[in-house]
Structure 1
Amino acid sequence: MENLITDQNRSVATFAITTLLKTGNEASVDRLMKQITGFMSEITDEFKVIVVDAIRSLCLKFPSKQAVMLGFLSGVLRDEGGFEFKRAVVEAIFDLVKFIPECKEAALSHLCEFIEDCEFTKLSVRILHLLGVEGPKTPTPTKYIRYIYNRVILENSIVRAAAVSALAKFGVNVADEQVKQSVRVLLTRCLDDTDDEVRDRSTLFLRVMDNEEAKHYVSDDSTYSLPALERGLVTYINDATDFDKPFNIAAVPKITKAQEEAERLRTKTLDLVSTPTISLGSTAVTSSGAVTPALSSVVSSGRGPTPNAGVDQQQVYAQLLQDIPEFAAFGPLFKSSVVPIELTESETEYVVRCVKHVFAEHIVFQFNCTNTLNDQLLEEVTIVMQPEVDDIGIVEVVNIPAPKLEYNNPGVSYVAFKKDDPDDYPLTTFSNTLKFIVKDCDPTSGEPDEEGFEDEYQVEDVELVTGDYILPTYIGNFTETWEQLGDENEVVETFALDKERAPSLKAACNSILDLLSMHAVEDTATPKSNTVHTLLVSGTCLGGVSVLGRSRMTFSATSGVAFELAVRSGNRSVSQVVIGAIA
């Protein structure tokens, strides 16, 4: 394959180098990068883009080689090229900044040098935004301010406005008072700019810097979960009966910017082995080696901020349930189990896993069933769920069997319950029995007998717990929100975890987070001390009720962890339900 890099046909050579980049190991990176350096000057921009996209994936695959790849990217960034090529290089460096902390400062410095002589307004604006977000977090933020202010002096109005916004982030997010004062001086100079957008932004940010309550508009580290927001809006638009009420934005969970970036990294790494299609005249060579008619000169592998679309599991569940007529009227999905619950051992003849879906007034249990016996066919596979207490405030309304379970071909059964009181949070344990019709099969041909017989199979219990009604939610300012809720609906209890259940404060934090299904905020998930810690948690209860919790805990090597848990929300009954998850 490496011999093809020097092939006279540059299309073949490009395909060879990108294949090597995506299939090679860490030891071959240095050698490949040396070969690419001379290769880049011999190909057109469209092929350069493909090579840069391959290197972008390689950066995430082998982060220890970031210095070599950053050196290469910074070098080609100085070469001549069009917008698409430069954009591909800049996006690759963005990934290094966001996902490989060791090279953040070096990567930002290369971007600063690039915007000194950048002819593309869109790229300058994007880089300035990144500098405003990442620059204040570096040990020496002042070295980036000079590059940003140069853009105010030398660039067009669009770039100047972006530079003003970037400067404001330094003024708000850097703790050093001298830096804040310097930014004030620079923003004051911008008040005399010839463009009204630049003047307006300067005026706004100067006021923001002097107003503590307004600073969170610039420094807030939270964002809405976009898949959840999209799902909620689609459901709202499709249900015409909801138009007399405004869209409930409080029901959309918030996440940290770090969580958002972590999800982007996960989705990027899902498709590291994808290879773009390269045009070869009238035909194109695909990553599998097949030759097909060329649809275009280059089919891009994606160079946007998120090149590979990730899969939001809850969105998949929501769409799946919406397409089932029996569940279509249940409304928007509030929460689904993150991980399916194993109800059988993986080696048993029938493997069953359960996923819980919570709606405003309904709870749907999805049972994913697999038949591991090659001499049996199961038909009309139904789950019989029996709560341990009869009168718990829910009643079964739908039971959908799996039509048949062939050997190693999964099927799904559903059981849905409706709550008697929409504001109630029923908690119980269900015993579950698999009922079906068995037909013997020929293991070779798979042909089943015409006649079968009824049988049943007991599986593990399923619990409906408090955490099923709580969605982890991030908030930017815990103390302020805690005070706003007040102590009117506060519930406080004291608990203890023995040393076996909580051998450390970290283990206790994990247990509390699991039980409450809430999000640890202000970096309190990991204790800084071995003996004393305060855990701060946030969530949204079914119905859009915000819930906060504060757990003050101490650890003793002899007795384990003792902690006081205080819960506040807008509804006292919700606070009592949440604190009951620990009891």
Structure 2
Amino acid sequence: MNTSGNPYKNLEKASVLQEARTFNETPVNARKCIQILTKIIYMINQGEQLGQMEATETFFAMTKLFQSKDMMLRRMIYLSLKEMSTVANYVIIVTSSLTRDMTEKEDSHRGPAMRALCKIIDVNEVQEAVNNDNIMVQYHALGLLYQIRRTDKYAIRKLIVKFSKAGFRSPYAYCFLIRIAANLINEEGEETDSPMYDFIDSCLRHKNEMVIYEAASTIVSLKCVTPKELSSTVNVLQLFLSSRKPVLRYAAVRTLNKVAIQYPASVTASITTLLKTGNEADVDRLMKQISSFLSEISDQFKTVVVDVIKSLCQKFPRKHTVLMTFLSNMLREEGGYEYKKAIVNTIISIVEENPEAKEADCEHTSLATRILHLLGREGPRTTTPAKYIRYIYIRVILENAPVRAAAVSALAKFGAASEDLLPNILVLLQRTTLDQDDEVRDPMNVSLSSLERLLHRYTIEPTTKPFDVRSVPVEAVPVEQPKDISIGVDLPRSGIESKTNREDTYDEQLSAIPEFAHLGPIFKSSLPVDLTESEVGYVVRCIKHIFSHYIVFQFDINNTLNDQLLERVTVQIDGSAEGFEVVHYTPCQVIKCNDTGTTYTLVKLPDDSSAVTGTLACTMKYTVKDCDPTTSVPDDEEGYADEFVLEDIEITVSDHVQKVLKPNWYYKIIIFYFSFHLMFIIECVKKIINYMGMQACERSDKIPEGKASHALYLAAVYRGRHDVLVRAKMALDGTTVYPGAQAITMQLTIRSTDGSAVQVIASAVE
């Protein structure tokens, strides 16, 4: 060989491959193997084509050289492997040796081994690595796949779709895939209805906080996103604001700052969350920040801010001044009804829950009336109620009829609660008597539903008497209708169920019975009274309906027995000794097993107008039919008569009296006087109200502690529509009756348009 020229110029492929068999010798001759590897590399670089079988045999022989620790030989092995990887088969078997070199401490081995491995490895191996359990392996495998395919947009799209469905264990891989999808959206100009955006949006619901924030931050930075799509992102960032991790709170605030610059409305909920999660010292600063962007958002988002301020005032009651000032400024600004309504509701809530916050311009009538109602209820209880009167009276002068009426009612409440203000308020109220609107002139504390019903009856019934407003019940009492009640006549059930007033319901029931149609309107209905024990077979309850000259006793009977059926049920009343005359019985035709029925007894009141109390004996009479407990079919068609003794019915003074509220009771004229000595304790006031059945006025039923004397003012309407007023002056006389009880001297003063009513009321405490 010519030493002055190229020593590899005349190489023959066959001879070189023959020499390559030296690689199989043991021990390895490093110097000789280096020369042979150099020849092989030279031939390949010169364009010599190796057959697949030849290359594979040589490649397998080269793998045995990894036994040698020679540095130069190892480098030549790496170079040769890279050159032959494209020709030989099964080159993947050498990956274990290369991987071992990559993990060695020798720096000269790790770099070349890694480069050789990248050369021989197949793309499918990268995809397998993406499914590895190690989170870092997944992350780097995805990065390598992206680098391989980054020039092919279609391949990138398939990559995102594939792994968005398959998922990763690695949060880093998810974050990288989100960034790939975001780049594709921005480069291709896609909208928010694309699969790429759907994938990013789905990551907002991932269980890993890193992935959630990456998705939220990416959505904020997208060019195609609108405020509507930002709502879910803002909600996620809002949750991060209340996180215990400082890094999450910082990241959320930083991202929300970006949103606030472009979309102030979308970040409203998050800013208000800062109010919820902040401390008391930050309230002033946060309120100033909200004021800066409040004018830029819609009423819908302003309402959200108002709701948060309401909860904030409950959390920090000492900050009510700042919050009320803020709400007052909001109330003066332009806004819709719902927005202003939210502000008013919040102010009312703050005033009701915080006594220190008791301090209204409104263009909405319903809101103005609510505010006036609030002032009338809470204003008299403040330390200086007089300062509210001017504001309320201005409404009487300037506003429309509904607001004026509400203002008049509010002024009346101030006068009723304060003797000092009463003379001045009376002067103001007298000016309203000439108001052009009846709603302002004649405010009455009546039940509207009852008033409509009685007016309707007055118009259809022939009468020469004027309509008496005292026939209207003072208050509507809700009633729960018993289920499956069967009575002696068919009643219009739909009409009964449509009423919420107890008297209205009873009135319709009784009007449907011909024998009771002539009695007129019900003056009063009592509460149900049990006439039997709850454990007996027949449970009976009685309700007394008081009319002008009659009493209708309604008996609701519950048959708790499952083997007996009752027919032709009546309740016989014996009131002859008391002067009460039974006029008519309305039987209940049948009461099935475990069912309830109703029967009525009509009784005429005594001719003596003062004889209104008594005790009536009651006996239930009926026909019993034994029946099968399972089918409830009677065994005998005839049955047998039976009776059941009930407890006596007590008729008291309170049954003939209906409560009514009389303002300014003290200014009524007093005529009759009675003096009594009662042996009661402090419960005396409650007992008097209970026995008489009258309404306490001017809060006289509230007794301050430690008082030795007290004046109780009562008002009512007696049967026959006669007004009754009572004043009871009580004082301790210092006499101890028995331990824990003192004697009370009471002066009872009664006034009424009917003399018999006075005697009846007085008899209640005799």
Q: TM-score, normalised by structure 1?
A: 0.61
Higher CA-based Rg:
2
Following superposition, the deviation at residue 245 of structure 1 comes to 1.2
Alpha-carbon distance in structure 2 between the residues aligned to 1:378 and 1:312 = 31
Query: Is the Cα contact below 8 Å between 2:454 and 2:472 reproduced in 1?
Result: yes
Task: From the superposition, tell whether residues 374 and 92 of structure 1 become closer, same or farther in structure 2 (CA, over 3 Å).
Answer: farther
Greater relative contact order: 1 or 2 (C-alpha under 8 angstroms, separation 6 or more)? 1
Matched, 1:127 2:371: yes
CA distance in 2, matches of 1:536, 1:176: 15
Q: Which runs of 5 or more structure 1 residues have no equivalent in the other structure?
A: 11-29, 185-203, 212-216, 271-308
Aligned residue in 1 for 2:599: 413
Partners in 2 of 1:163 and 1:542 — Cα distance?
31
2:603 & 2:596 partners in 1: Cα distance?
23
Which AA in structure 2 matches 1:135? G
How far residue 406 of structure 1 moved from its aligned partner, in angstroms, is 2.2
Q: Which one of the candidate residues 501, 504, 511 is aligned to 1:315?
A: 504
Distance in 1 separating the partners of 2:689 and 2:402: 45
2:568·2:588 contact (CA, 8 Å) conserved in 1? Answer: yes
- Other-structure match for 2:710: 533
For residues 288-437 of structure 1, what are the structure 2 equivalents within 5 Å? 311-337=500-526, 339-387=527-575, 389-390=576-577, 392-419=578-605, 421=607, 423=609, 425-437=611-623
**Structure 2 SS opposite 1:546:** strand
Are residues 149 and 340 of structure 1, via their aligned partners in 2, closer, same or farther at CA, if it must alter by over 3 Å?
A: closer
Match status 1:229 vs 2:480: no
1:211-261, Cα deviation, whole Å (9 max, x unpaired): 9xxxxx99999723445434432332231x22x211122444557xxxx9x
- Contact 1:482–1:548 (CA under 8 A) maintained in structure 2: no
Distance between the aligned counterparts of 2:662 and 2:406, measured in 1? 27
> What does the per-residue CA deviation read over 1:340-398, in whole Å, with 9 as the maximum and x for residues that have no partner?
111111111111111100111211000111111122211111111112x44x4432222
**Alpha-carbon separation, structure 2, partners of 1:254 and 1:67:** 38
Question: Please, what TM-score do these two structures have when normalized by structure 2?
Answer: 0.48
**Which residue, out of 688, 693, 696, partners 1:520?**
696
Name the structure 2 match of 1:457.
644
What does 1:159-178 correspond to in 2, within 5 Å?
169=411, 173=415
2:377 pairs with 1:138 = no
Deviates more, 1:444-453 or 1:323-332: 444-453
2:546 is aligned with what amino acid? Answer: V
Q: How many residues end up aligned between the 2 structures?
A: 450
* 1:444–1:322 Cα change, 3 Å: same
Change (3 A) 1:476 1:65: farther
Structure 1 position 405, deviation (Å): 1.9
Structure 1 counterpart of 2:354? 103
Query: Partner of 1:305 in structure 2?
Result: none
Structure in which a larger fraction of residues adopt helix: 2
Structure with the bigger percentage of strand: 1
Counterpart contact for 2:523–2:546, Cα < 8 Å: yes
Question: What is the distance in 2 between the residues matched to 1:49 and 1:403?
Answer: 60
Range moving further from structure 2, 352-361 or 416-425: 416-425
8 Å contact from structure 2 (residues 373, 410) kept in 1: no
Cα distance, 1:334 vs structure 2: 0.3
Quick one: structure 1 residues 553 and 442, their matched pair in 2 at CA, closer, same or farther if it must change by over 3 Å?
Answer: same
Q: Does 1:447 align with 2:447?
A: no
Q: Is the 8 A contact 1:350 1:371 kept in 2?
A: yes
In structure 2, the partner of 1:197 is: none
Report the Cα offset of residue 434 of structure 1: 1.0
Contact 1:361 1:422 in 2 (8 A): no
Q: Does 1:481 align with 2:668?
A: yes
- Separation in 2, partners of 1:444, 1:453: 21
Contact 2:395 2:403 in 1 (8 A): no
Which whole-Å deviations, capped at 9, do the CAs of 1:179-217 have from their partners, x for residues lacking one? 999x99xxxxxxxxxxxxxxxxxxx849759x9xxxxx9
Partner residue in 1 for 2:736: 557
Give the CA RMSD over aligned residues. Answer: 5.5
The match for 2:336 is 82
Secondary structure of 1:224's match? coil
Q: Taking structure 1 as reference, are residues 66 and 326 closer, same or farther at Cα in structure 2, changes over 3 Å only?
A: farther
Distance 1:45 1:455, change over 3 A: farther
Contact between 1:66 and 1:103, CA under 8 Å: does it hold in 2? no
Q: Tell me if structure 2 keeps the 8 A contact 1:151–1:160.
A: no
1:244-323, aligned counterparts within 5 Å?
244-252=464-472, 311-323=500-512
- Give 1:549 shift: 2.0
What is the CA deviation profile of residues 89-147 of structure 1, one whole-angstrom value per residue up to 9, with x for unaligned ones?
645765776xx4x33663x64xx3xx3xx554654465356546643542244775797
SS at match of 2:615: strand
> Are 2:737 and 2:743, in contact at CA under 8 Å, matched by a contact in 1?
no
- Secondary structure (helix, strand or coil) at the match of 1:354 reads strand
Q: What does the per-residue CA deviation read over 1:15-61, in whole Å, with 9 as the maximum and x for residues that have no partner?
A: xxxxxxxxxxxxxxx99x969xx9xx9x9989999999x99xx99xx
| C-alpha separation in 2, matches of 1:330 and 1:170 | 37
What runs of 5+ residues in structure 2 fail to find an aligned partner? 1-204, 206-227, 232-271, 278-289, 434-438, 481-497
Amino acid corresponding to residue 333 of structure 1 in structure 2: I
- 1: distance between equivalents of 2:608 and 2:562? 45
Secondary structure class of the residue paired with 2:510: helix
Partner Cα separation in structure 2 for residue 344 and residue 171 of structure 1: 45
- Asked if the contact 1:402/1:411 (under 8 Å) is kept, the reply is yes
Distance 1:95 1:398, change over 3 A: farther
Q: Measure the CA separation in 2 of the matches of 1:171 and 1:521.
A: 12
Name the SS for the 1:410 alignment partner.
strand
Closer, same or farther: CA 448–219 of 1 in aligned 2, 3 Å? same
Q: Distance in 2 between matches of 1:9 and 1:419?
A: 77
1:282-322: per-residue Cα shift (whole Å, max 9, x none)?
xxxxxxxxxxxxxxxxxxxxxxxxxxx99322222222222
Shift of 1:77: 7.0
**1:45-56 equivalence runs, <5 A:** none
Aligned equivalents of 1:429, 1:9: Cα separation in 2? 76
